[in-house]
Each structure stands twice: as structure tokens, then as C-alpha cells.
Amino acid sequence: MNEAADVIVVGGGSTGCGVVRDLARRGLDAVLVEKGNLTHGTTGRMHGLLHSGGRYAVSDRKSARECIEENRVLRDIASHCVEETGGMFVKRPEDDEEYFQEKLEGCRACDIPVEVIDGEEARRREPYLARDVEKAIVVPDAAVDPFRLCVANAADAHEHGARIETHAEVVDVLIEDGAVVGVAVEHRSGPGKRVHRKPGTREEIRADYVVNATGAWAGQLGDMAGVDVEVRPSKGVMTVMNTRQVDTAINRCRPKGDADIIVPHETACILGTTDEEVTDPEDYPEEEWEVDLMIETLSELVPVLKEARTLRSFWGVRPLYEPPGTGTDDPTDITRDYFLLDHDERDDLPGMTSIVGGKLTTYRMMAESITDHVCEKLDHEATCDTAEAPLPGSDDFSVLRDYMEEFGVRSPIGRRSVQRLGSRADDVLNGTDPNPVVCECEGVTRAEVQDGIDAAGSDLNAVRIRTRASMGNCQGGFCTHRIAAELAQQYPEPVVRDAEDELYQERWKGQRHALWGRQLSQTMLNHLLHATTMNRDGDPAGLDGDVAFDAFDAGPGTDAASGTGSPDGTAATDGGVDGDR
């Protein structure tokens, strides 16, 4: 069966979710299609910094001004997704004083609030900073949960009539009479997938307009339509540490370089990053030296990182775009600005526009720009309200405040739940009795897991991005079976078993880059708990001979460090900030 809509948005990252929300709120019939879960691509594999703009205040002031503007907007409309950590640009003795002053002047020129503090005060605020840090510029950086943010945008779009279709891969762009008229998608099969169409079937979705919001994959969708979208994907590694060694986002105050930021996120810290151009956003090397570089270099700022346990590492790919005629060999020199490529004006192909470049902090602004563009193309008059309308979860501050006063002060677990759920906390947490903790590391309760299952079906990785269950220190070792037990109340055993295996394997992907020291012991403990206690080791008495954990069951010849023993050999997909975190 074919369906028709006003607009199809391809890509379920921050930009795509922002676009479909804006379209739906303006009264257009919109459909979002994403080949994986929401945040499957770049958005799920970033370090989780809500930029103040300070990072770009010297090299790209236009982007810096956009960042501080949207930083303020997101604190208002997405408060349950943002932690106001603050940020510092710290100077070590070998760092250039002239650049420190340029950074300070650039922030002021971009209307970014700043404060200069000496090394002693910086260490008073962050005791683990290196003793030789001389001074710092304090900026209003923050931490943002990209998973929660995208889900909230998609939920609001759905409430306003949009269709959100995950695990639906675009396999063709439909062109008739020289114009784009829709896309063909293949609904993907697999464990734990709930889709609107039968898995493995193909569906044509027709629309008056198509928005290519696939980020680093924009060139691939362009190829299907016969147009050239010159995205320059650039990979970067992030490494997740087991605790919050700092509570402030720490930036190295130098012009540019690898390994220059530490972002506190939930229960962990994320170290980042590198910047290396790649040809394929899904096929690139993940090198051990990149992980080593994060820890060794950032230990110069926070020495205790050398002694910390590494939970996992993951790689993300930036969707950089360089306008024609501004070529550079260094991806760090490419602007972080965003661009609308109208393929009617550019390629004589009506019916489609690509949005490329940008960053998560400016996703809402990007979505407003392209929605304005689409409305003009469709002669649809409607104003944007996404800068004022709170996202679900941030829409009633009095409920959140009252609930925190009643329950949050007494219970750390309650505080974590309320912070995640925001204004939905009362409805969700009071809807299940009893409500024990299912995931101790992240303080996720049964009510939250059940709420996630209600929204995502049997896909436990979709439940994960909604709740953070299994994303803590044990990486699912002590909770995946408990999460699966909640699923067993609604689904048959084979579905539950496959969904649990898929969740556990997703946790394994990022851990394979951290198999040394105490983390190796933790990973083996996780395996033994599931392979023996849970009868997940292929014992015919338990699983009819099925082998659940290919990564370990491959035997001594498996190259765990490179991931060749993982189920599909693909890159880690959650990133911290997967995100994995």
C-alpha cells in the first residue's frame, strides 16, 4: 500500500526530528523515515556538549552567535534534556597567551557571557584539574542528552499528526516527469522491531516535497536522486570514563587539535575528539591509537583520567559541508555553519532540498530555516513556534518542581527519574506500583522501562535511548535481563530473547575498544553472568543450541580489540554522546 503526505523527512537525527516537529506544528502532513532507531547516525555519536559558542568564537563567529542564541532557547524549551554544567576554556603553561586573549575577545564580540578566573579558583571549582593550569575562561556551556532531545521532538511531531517510521531504510528516490515525488522504503526485519508495515516489505511514500536531513549520509541519498551533494564526512572518536571526574565541561584553550574537551554527562565523562576526513560514513577504521590519544592528552588537563576505568569508545561522523570554491585539505578548517541546497535551483530537480552541515546545538534553527523554505515551496502560510513551545517533558515546570519537592529530595533515584522525565514524571512514576529500580547504574525504574516499551514496542535499544537503562558502569551486565523481564509481560519468549540479545550486543560494540585493566574484568564478568547464570552460552538445555554471544563464542582466535568477533563488525552506535555514553 502506498501513502501520500505533504512532506517526507529522511533522517531521524536531531535535524530531521526538529524538521518534522516544525512541519507538523505548522499544520503540514509530515512523515519521518529513519533506517535505524532515532539518533542512529551522527546525533547518537556525539559528545553531548550544548555549545555556548565559545569553541567557535575565534574561527567562526557566525556559528558562535548561532550557538549562544540556540543555547538559550534549548535551556527553555528542552530543560529536561539539558544539564547546566557550565564550561571552562583552560590554559596550561605551554598554551599561547595571545590566543587566550583572542578567545576572550571573540566571546565578548559574539555576546557570549564570560568570566576569567585564575588557576586557583579553577581548581576550587574543579579539584581534579592539573596543578599547573594557569587560568580559565568560564562560559555557559551545558550538557545535553541527544537521545532524549530527539525522542521529545519526535513525540511532539507525532502528537501533531506526523508519522514517525523507524527501521525504514530509503532504497530509492521516486522521480516522475523530472521532479521528486517521494521515496521507496524497505521496512527492516530483525529482533525487537515494531514497525507500521510488515518487516521485509517495500513501501512507496509519495509527497509534495522531500527533505534530505541525513547528515553525513546526504550524498548517498543525493546519488539515489541523481544529484551531487558534496558532504565531507569527518570522523571523531569519543571515550567514555566510568565516573564524572569533572562536573564542568572542560575545553583546552588552544587554536585547534585532537583531544581537547571533557564533557560530564549523566554518570560519566566523555573525552573527545579527533577530526579526520573519511570517504564513507559507515565504513572507516577505528584505531586503538585514537583511544589512547584521548586519555593521554586529556590527562594533561585532568591527571586522574590516567587511573580511571574506561567504559567504552565510539566514533561519530560529522556532516561537514564546504561551499564550492572554498576548498581546504584540513577538515578542522571547514565551517560548522549549515546550508540549504535547493535541488530545483541547483540541479533542475524540483521537489527536494538537502540540509547539510551544522551541529546539534543549532538543530532547531536549522529546522526552522528549512521548514520556512518548504512552506514557501508549497505556498503554505504558517509561523514557527518551536523557539517558544516547550517539548514534551519540559512543558509544565510547576509539576516538575512540585514533584521534586515531594519526592526528589529524599531519593537520589527519584531525582534521576524526575530529571529524565521532566514534567511527565508524576504521570509515569505514579502509574506503576511497586516501582523498583531495574537499572541501578542509571537509577532507571520499572515505570520508566514500561513507559519506554509502551512507546517503542519490543525494541529494547529504543527503550534504552528513552530511559538510559543499560548505559551505566556495568554496560548492561546486571540489568539487561531485568529489562527483558519487563518486556516478557507483553511479548512471547522468542521475541524477548532476541530483543535482549540485541540490546546486550549493542552494549558490547563500544566495550570492545576498552578491553584492558579493570574494564576487561568487568566485561568478562558480564559475559559470565549471561553465558552461565542466564544459560546464554549455547547450552542446548537452555537455548536449543542457539549461540547468543558471537563475540565471545568465536573462541581464542577472535580479535576482540578490533571487533571482528562482534555480530556485524559495525561501528558502535550509541555513543555516548553514541552516543554512547
Q: Which residues of the chain have pLDDT under 70?
A: 1-2, 189-198, 324-334, 397-414, 538-581
All three cell numbers of 285: 577504521
Closest to 30 (Cα-Cα) out of 16, 20, 41, 22: 20
Indicate the domain borders of the chain. 82-142+234-318, 431-553
Q: How far is CA 80 from CA 83, 405, 420, 444, 543, in A?
A: 8, 16, 6, 15, 41
The identity of residue 406, as a single letter, is E
* pLDDT value of residue 337: 82
What does the alpha-carbon distance between residue 171 and residue 35 come to, in Å, rounded to a whole number?
A: 10
Q: How many CB atoms lie within 10 A of CB 495?
A: 19
Q: Which residue has the cell 546545538?
A: 361
CB 246 within 8 A of CB 269: yes
CB 156 within 8 A of CB 391: yes
All three cell numbers of 405: 519537592
DSSP states of 471-501: -STTTTTTTHHHHHHHHTTTS-HHHHHHHHH
Q: How many CB atoms lie within 10 A of CB 464?
A: 27
* pLDDT value of residue 402: 58
Closest to 295 (Cα-Cα) out of 271, 315, 265, 314: 271
All three cell numbers of 433: 506500583
Work out whether strand 179-187 and strand 202-212 pair parallel, antiparallel, or are unpaired: antiparallel
* pLDDT value of residue 157: 98
* pLDDT value of residue 532: 79
0.85 exceeded by the pTM? yes
* pLDDT value of residue 547: 38
What does the alpha-carbon distance between residue 116 and residue 122 come to, in Å, rounded to a whole number?
A: 10
The identity of residue 321, as a single letter, is Y
Helix axes 460-467, 480-487, angle to 10 degrees: 110
Secondary-structure percent of the chain, ordered helix, strand, coil, rounded to 5: 40, 20, 40
CATH 3.30.9.10 fits 82-142+234-318, yes or no: yes
